[in-house]
Amino acid sequence: MKDVFAVVEPTVIHIRTGGNSSNDLRRQIIDELTSERWGYTNLDANSLIRDENERRTAIGQEFLAMVQSGKIIPAETIVRMLRKIIYSGDGRKKFILSSFPDIIDQAKEFEKTCAMISAIIYTTGDVAGDIPIVEIKNNNLTLFNIDALFQKEHRLKTMAKWDDQKWQELIGGQKTDWSIIVGQPLQGKSVLAGIMKKHLSFKLFDWKAMED
């Protein structure tokens, strides 16, 4: 089981400021989630890049060379830095991305080579009744609108204020870490597992394949 646990993906969420909300709400949500109760680690890509530069690490030297030559730091390099932290093996399993990704290509690179983003938490001060409003000015995915992409995939969650119960409804109370499917041969275990993988974003571990 130690081998299995070593490859289970962490929980990663991305927090974005939207609508008429200020950065104060975003900061409050991050402070709440990084408290002992919720146990998230905040990964601010901009701060981490500066830290790598100051410590003159190998990847920090790459960042510095790109900046000095007037190049934009590619998503692949940023994700490589984040991956080193997320999979450091220090026991942390829940992370916040607070300044990355900004566009679809960055999100896809992160999910391709690091981990699945469980949800985007979109802070908004626009409320109709008790329902937060998400205003996506252009819903054309060809324009690299990350909010539109996650909305289409039902992973865009809105918060107009911090609320423990609301968080449980959005993320905390819905996550299932492990499900074990057992049964007699030819009774549909593989079919059910495939449905759960497709619609609930589970990662499958086929015990027979692992034994083989």
Residue 144 pLDDT level (bands cut at 50, 70, 90) = low
DSSP state of 43: E
Closest alpha carbon to 124 in 167, 161, 169: 161
Same domain for 118 and 183, yes or no, is no
Task: Point out the least confidently predicted range of 43-57, 93-107, 149-163.
Answer: 149-163
Find out whether 119 and 89 touch, Cβ atoms under 8 Å: no
Range of the domain at 202: 178-212
- Percent helix, strand and coil across the chain, each to the nearest 5: 45, 15, 40
Asked whether residue 1 is assigned to any structural domain, the reply reads: no
DSSP state of 103: B
Same domain for 139 and 38, yes or no, is yes
Q: Which two tokens stand for residue 84?
A: 């080193």
Q: Does residue 60 surpass a pLDDT of 80? A: yes
**pTM of structure:** 0.70
Same domain for 69 and 147, yes or no, is yes
Asked whether residue 70 is assigned to any structural domain, the reply reads: yes
- The C-alpha atoms of residue 115 and residue 86 are separated, in whole angstroms, by 9
Same domain for 171 and 210, yes or no, is no
Per-residue pLDDT, 43: 97
Give per-residue pLDDT as tens, 193-202.
888 888 777 7
Strand partners, 96: 13, 42
Same domain for 191 and 168, yes or no, is no
Same domain for 105 and 207, yes or no, is no
Burial 59-74, CB ≥16 within 10 A → b, else e? bbebbeeeeeeeeeee
Give per-residue pLDDT as tens, 175-195.
556 778 888 888 888 898 888
Per-residue pLDDT, 6: 56
Number of structural domains the chain divides into:
2
Per-residue pLDDT, 127: 52
Same domain for 189 and 97, yes or no, is no
Percent of the chain with pLDDT over 70: 82
Same domain for 167 and 185, yes or no, is no
Same domain for 144 and 203, yes or no, is no
Same domain for 116 and 207, yes or no, is no
Asked whether residue 197 is assigned to any structural domain, the reply reads: yes
Q: Does residue 20 surpass a pLDDT of 60? A: no
Average pLDDT over residues 78-102: 91
Parallel, antiparallel or unpaired: strands 41-43 and 127-128: unpaired
Task: Point out the least confidently predicted range of 30-34, 76-80, 175-179.
Answer: 175-179
Asked whether residue 144 is assigned to any structural domain, the reply reads: yes
Find out whether 43 and 87 touch, Cβ atoms under 8 Å: no
* Amino acid (one-letter) located at 122: Y
Closest alpha carbon to 148 in 171, 120, 126, 167: 120
Same domain for 53 and 15, yes or no, is yes
Same domain for 194 and 162, yes or no, is no
